[in-house]
Each structure stands twice: as structure tokens, then as C-alpha cells.
């Protein structure tokens, strides 16, 4: 009875409205406590299937097995996705062998590089000039070149070494040599250097006339003056591309290989390892349009005789000359003087006793072809001389009195290789030209020259 009274006190405390911690069920349902209330034990329930001890153990074991398996699978998945796996190839790399360049063995670009890089050099120049304040200013420039003989003759561009007070050549193995400029020629943009070294590996010259559009070519050089002995690859985009570099016409090999400042003077090679050109110029922009993939190289066949001449004589001694003063024929000239031929190289005068006079050329002739090369301008005529030397004979096609004629012309030796046939030569002949115009009754080829070349 005592226990029941205690329980009733607890129950009254549980249902006390003042008790903030418990819910008052009786107050909620408005049911007063029954003074005679007594706890009635709950009826015993029959154990369920899952409450049996054996089933519980078995279920526990199965659950452990399932969880363990899932954990193993998940761990494996986590291991494969949560960690970086490095895969290592076991392929054996192809061995690059150095081959003898004979012009008979087709090579991969890697083999060409390995077989010829020891023939390429880096060129660094320094020059000293005086500024407007009378102070000495030193400047530096860089370029590329290639060894042409075992005893140290090196070919590069004229513009690479022009004005240099000192020239240093660096070989692929790191050796440096002071170099002497044997000679150079601005018309061909070629120069020959000499270093005091022996047993060097020279290049093998190829035949640039065999180059075709689409041929793979390689340029090895010193781009930007610091990325020494870099190679770039491309194809020939055009053969005999006529371009004008600082007023000098060239027929170049156009390529899409990457060519940058510092590449000038380096070799352009085919896949036989032969040098087919001298990298010379790059168009980086045209007007306001930025362009890429336009590199140029001088065909080696156009300058091979010049290189030999410089090596033997220190200068170009047999530079060819037509022995005439000429300029570009234009449509305006043709219309003014009623000449049917509207393009070509117009002959202003013929040097007395020179190659042109001996060939029968006269003032007023318009040269339209040299051998099989069409001539549309004075630049074309100048370019047509390249690849020839004094004493060579060519066939000249010219327009006179309404019809075409041909003659054989044997080149003279050009006395002054700085005079352009279409510029200073014309000025030197101007006095004689004016006299001839007066004798011809005012048939003013001289005044025509004044109009088109700015003479007042």
C-alpha cells in the first residue's frame, strides 16, 4: 500500500500543471485522477520471430557479412577513384642515328637534326656607333649561319654582320671563336665568315631548283638570339616568290616554317639533310594585319657562285651586268608613247661597248624575258641575273617596233656592285639621255624619266 501511495504522489507530480517539464495529459483531456487507480500489469506478449535468440545471431552474422562485403567493395571503388594511378609505358624509344648526308638517304626530321646540327652556328655581333651627343654607343645583334668547309668558312646573311665591329661564332658543342668577315654582298644578302678552326663538319649543298611546293623543309638556327640551335619544320609554300627587301628584289623560297629574328643566315634543309636555301627574311605584318606562316629563304643555287667568289677573292668579282640603264615599264608609259608592250624592263640607255650594245639592244627596247623567266619589271630583270656570273650567256627577249625579238647576251662584269640599273645608273646617264632626246626631235624619253623618277 505504501508503494501505491508513493506512485500516486509521483503521478500527481507528473500531472501537476505547475510542472513545466512534463506534459499534463489529464488536464489536456479534463479527466480527473481516479482515487482508486492502481497499476495494472501489461499482458505478456508472445516473442516474435526476430526476437528469438538463434534468429538474432544468424541475422547479425548475415548483416556483418553483407556490411563487410559492401565495405570491401566500397573501399576498392574509393581506392580506384580517390587515388591517381600513374601509367608507365614500356615502349622502347626509337634510336636516332647520325647519318652521312649524301643526298641519297631520306631521313626523319629528328635524323636530319642529329646529322646536321653540328654544321649550324650561332652568330653574335657587336657594333659601336656615335650618337648625336658624340658619345659612343654599343649595340648587339644575333643571327645564324652554317659551316661550308672543314677549315672554318661559314655562310650567313649580309644583313646579319653588316656594320659589325666584332663577330663571335658559337658551335653546337659550345666552343666560341672570333670570326673575320671575309666579304659580303648586299644585292644577294650573303656573307662569308672565317674562324680559326679545323676538322669541322660542313653542310652538303643541295639543288634548290629541285624544290617543289609541298616539300617538307627544316630550318635550324638561333631564334630571338637566345634559343640556340632550335629547329622548326614546315612545307614549301611557293617557289621563286618575288619579294622586295629594303629595295632589293629577291626570288625566294616561301615556307610556312616558324622563322623569327635570329634565324637569318641559317640553313633551310630538305629531308635528305641538304641545304637548299639560306633563311633570310620574315614578313611579320602586312599593313594593319598580323600574319603568320610566312618565311623566306634565298635559293642556294642563286648564291653558290657568289659564295665561292667571296671565299676566293674576298668580294664579288664577277657580278653580272646587262650593260644597260633600265627601269620598270608601266601602262602609263605605254599609253603616253604609244608602245603596245605594257610591262617589262624599259631600256633607257645602252652602255657603249657593253653587253647590251654587243647584244644589239637599243634605247626604247622593252625586255620581256631572260631565258625562260618572264620579265614584268626592273626588279624581275635584276633578279634574273642572280644565279649567273660575268661571262655567262643568256637569251634575251625584247619588244621593239611592235614585235618581239630575241638575242644572246653575255654578261659584263659589274664595276660597282652598289649601283642599281634602275636607280643611280639612270641618273648617271641622264645628261647623255637629254642630248639624245634633242637629237631625236624632242622624243622625250628623258622627260619621261623625269616624270616617273622625280626629277624636277
Alpha carbon distance 251, 382 (integer Å)? 10
Whether 268 contacts 281, CB under 8 Å: no
Alpha carbon distance 392, 278 (integer Å)? 24
Positive or negative: CA dihedral 348, 354, 357, 359: negative
Whether 219 contacts 267, CB under 8 Å: yes
Q: Is 240 helix (H, G, I), strand (E, B) or coil?
A: strand
**CA 101, 294, 306, 269: dihedral to nearest 10 degrees?**
0
Q: Which member of 264, 280, 343, 349 is catalytic? A: 264
Instruction: Quickly count: other Cβ atoms within 10 Å of residue 237's Cβ.
Output: 18
Whether 183 contacts 193, CB under 8 Å: no
Secondary structure letter of residue 91 according to DSSP: P
Give me the phi and psi of 282, to 5 degrees please: -140, 130
If you count them, how many residues does the chain have? 456
Which residue stretches of 269-403 are H helix? 300-313, 331-336, 355-358, 378-385
Q: Which member of 122, 184, 187, 189 is catalytic? A: 189
DSSP readout, 312-344?
HHSS-SS-EE-SEEEEE--HHHHHHTT-S--SS
C-alpha cell at 260: 623569327
Q: Which member of 122, 142, 159, 343 is catalytic? A: 159
CA 380 to chain centre: 26
Residues whose CB falls within 8 Å of the CB of residue 68, separated by 6 or more in sequence, listed in order: none
C-alpha cell at 447: 622627260
Cα Rg, the chain, nearest whole Å = 46
**CA 434, 440, 445, 448: dihedral to nearest 10 degrees?**
90
Note if 189 is an active site residue. Answer: yes
Whether 388 contacts 394, CB under 8 Å: yes
Residues whose CB falls within 8 Å of the CB of residue 434, separated by 6 or more in sequence, listed in order: 446
Note if 388 is an active site residue. Answer: no
Note if 264 is an active site residue. Answer: yes
Alpha carbon distance 292, 58 (integer Å)? 78
Alpha carbon distance 266, 273 (integer Å)? 14
Q: Is 211 helix (H, G, I), strand (E, B) or coil?
A: coil
Whether 276 contacts 227, CB under 8 Å: no
Which residues are identified as catalytic?
A: 159, 189, 264
Amino acid at each position: 500500500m505504501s508503494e501505491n501511495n508513493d506512485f500516486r504522489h509521483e503521478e500527481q507530480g507528473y500531472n501537476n500543471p505547475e510542472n513545466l517539464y512534463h506534459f499534463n495529459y489529464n488536464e489536456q483531456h479534463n479527466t480527473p485522477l481516479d482515487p482508486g487507480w492502481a497499476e495494472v500489469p501489461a499482458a505478456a506478449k508472445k516473442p516474435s520471430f526476430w526476437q528469438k535468440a538463434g534468429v538474432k545471431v544468424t541475422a547479425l552474422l548475415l548483416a556483418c557479412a553483407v556490411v563487410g562485403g559492401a565495405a570491401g567493395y566500397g573501399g576498392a571503388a574509393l581506392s580506384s577513384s580517390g587515388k591517381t594511378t600513374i601509367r608507365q609505358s614500356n615502349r622502347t624509344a626509337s634510336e636516332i642515328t647520325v647519318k652521312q648526308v649524301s643526298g641519297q638517304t631520306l631521313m626523319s626530321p629528328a635524323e636530319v637534326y642529329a646529322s646536321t646540327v653540328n654544321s649550324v652556328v650561332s652568330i653574335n655581333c657587336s657594333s659601336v656607333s656615335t650618337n648625336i651627343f658624340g658619345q659612343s654607343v654599343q649595340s648587339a645583334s644575333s643571327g645564324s649561319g652554317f659551316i661550308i668547309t672543314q677549315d672554318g668558312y661559314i655562310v650567313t646573311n649580309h644583313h646579319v654582320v653588316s656594320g659589325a665591329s666584332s663577330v663571335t661564332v658559337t658551335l653546337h658543342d659550345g666552343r666560341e671563336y672570333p670570326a673575320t668577315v671575309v666579304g659580303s654582298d648586299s644585292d644577294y644578302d650573303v656573307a662569308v665568315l672565317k674562324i680559326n678552326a679545323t676538322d669541322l663538319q660542313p653542310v652538303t649543298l643541295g639543288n634548290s631548283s629541285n624544290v617543289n611546293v609541298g616539300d617538307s623543309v627544316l630550318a635550324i638556327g638561333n631564334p630571338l638570339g637566345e634559343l640556340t640551335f632550335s629547329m622548326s619544320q614546315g612545307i614549301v609554300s611557293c617557289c621563286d616568290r618575288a619579294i622586295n627587301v629594303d629595295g632589293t628584289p629577291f626570288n625566294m623560297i616561301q615556307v610556312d616554317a616558324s622563322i623569327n629574328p635570329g634565324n637569318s643566315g641559317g640553313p633551310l634543309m630538305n629531308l635528305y639533310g641538304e641545304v637548299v636555301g639560306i633563311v633570310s627574311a620574315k614578313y611579320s605584318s602586312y599593313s594593319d594585319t598580323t600574319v603568320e606562316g610566312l618565311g623566306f629563304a634565298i635559293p642556294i643555287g642563286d648564291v653558290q657562285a657568289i659564295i665561292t667568289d667571296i671565299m676566293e677573292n674576298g668580294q664579288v668579282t664577277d657580278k653580272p651586268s646587262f650593260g644597260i640603264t633600265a627601269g620598270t615599264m608601266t601602262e602609263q608609259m605605254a599609253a603616253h608613247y604609244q608602245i603596245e608592250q605594257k610591262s617589262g624592263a624599259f631600256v633607257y640607255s645602252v652602255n657603249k661597248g657593253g653587253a647590251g650594245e654587243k647584244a644589239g639592244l637599243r634605247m626604247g627596247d622593252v625586255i620581256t624575258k631572260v631565258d625562260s623567266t618572264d620579265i614584268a619589271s626592273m626588279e624581275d630583270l635584276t633578279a634574273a641575273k642572280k644565279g649567273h656570273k660575268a661571262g655567262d650567256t643568256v637569251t634575251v627577249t625584247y619588244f621593239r617596233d611592235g614585235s618581239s625579238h630575241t638575242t644572246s647576251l653575255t654578261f659584263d662584269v659589274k664595276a660597282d656592285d652598289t649601283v642599281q640599273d634602275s636607280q643611280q645608273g639612270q641618273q648617271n646617264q641622264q645628261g647623255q639621255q637629254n642630248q639624245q632626246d634633242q637629237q631625236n626631235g624632242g622624243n622625250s624619253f628623258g622627260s619621261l624619266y623625269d616624270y616617273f623618277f622625280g626629277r624636277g
